Amino acid sequence: MDLTPTPSQTVGPYLHLGLTDARSISRIAGDAATGQRIWLTFRALDGDGAPVPDAMIELWQADSEGNYARPGGDDDAAAFRGFGRMATAEDGSCTFETIRPGGVAGPGGTVQAPHINVSILGRGILKRLSTRLYFAGEPANHADPILALVPEDRCSTLLAHPDPARANNWVFDVRLRGKGETVFFDV
């Protein structure tokens, strides 16, 4: 048997049928999860700056102590599962409720700044796009080993910013192409 990984294909415009109609997960942290409760609003924009109304955003994050949920855990009932997924609305946005992650162990004894791993899937996206969300103003960002790999003038595309109108709400724009294009990672 050929063990080359199976190729990716676009999730297409009808992803809701199989993925988010029945199993959208907007709440990553339940009431019992410890940490600072936050809301993250994503906005997906295309190369013309127009909203992307038919994409799906998936998140994977550590808890407030910097630990990832483990296989074998009681996943769907867990206070903190670390995983969320939502379809974008007509305005290209979706909002998750979670807790702010802690710093995560990094290579060579380093500590990665608090971050959230982000996947973007959609019509016209032939394979998953991966990026990371970091928090603007977080002092640990300066020592983050992954941000250190990103050209300085593009680091700002990886920062979520506090929404001045709503406490504990953060906004993260995903610009798929062109001006202000988000940094995407080869993972």
Interacting residues with other proteins between 85 and 124 (CB under 8 A): 104-110, 112, 115, 117, 119, 121-124
Single out the residue of 148, 156, 166, 168 in contact with other proteins (rule: CB under 8 A). Answer: 148
Interaction of residue 3 with other proteins, rule CB under 8 A: yes
Single out the residue of 37, 39, 51, 83 in contact with other proteins (rule: CB under 8 A). Answer: 83
**47 is written with which tokens?**
């190369």
Interaction of residue 139 with other proteins, rule CB under 8 A: no
Q: Which is nearer to other proteins, 94 or 129 (CB)?
A: 129
Q: Pick the closest to residue 16 from 115, 108, 121 (CA basis).
A: 121
How many whole angstroms separate alpha carbon 127 and alpha carbon 32? 35
**154 is written with which tokens?**
């593009």
Q: What is the DSSP string of 105-149?
A: E-GGG-EEPSEEEEEEEETTEEEEEEEEEEETT-GGGGG-TTGGG
Interaction of residue 180 with other proteins, rule CB under 8 A: no
What's the closest the beta carbon of residue 90 comes to other proteins, in angstroms? 11
What's the closest the beta carbon of residue 136 comes to other proteins, in angstroms? 19
Single out the residue of 26, 35, 51, 58 in contact with other proteins (rule: CB under 8 A). Answer: 58
Please give the C-alpha separations between residue 167 and each of 26, 34, 37, 136, 162, in angstroms, as whole numbers.
Answer: 18, 18, 10, 15, 8
Interaction of residue 153 with other proteins, rule CB under 8 A: no
How many whole angstroms separate alpha carbon 184 and alpha carbon 187? 9
Q: Which is nearer to other proteins, 138 or 163 (CB)?
A: 138
Q: Map the footprint of other proteins across residues 11-40, applying CB under 8 A.
A: 11-19, 21-23
Interaction of residue 5 with other proteins, rule CB under 8 A: yes
**162 is written with which tokens?**
């506090």
Interaction of residue 176 with other proteins, rule CB under 8 A: yes
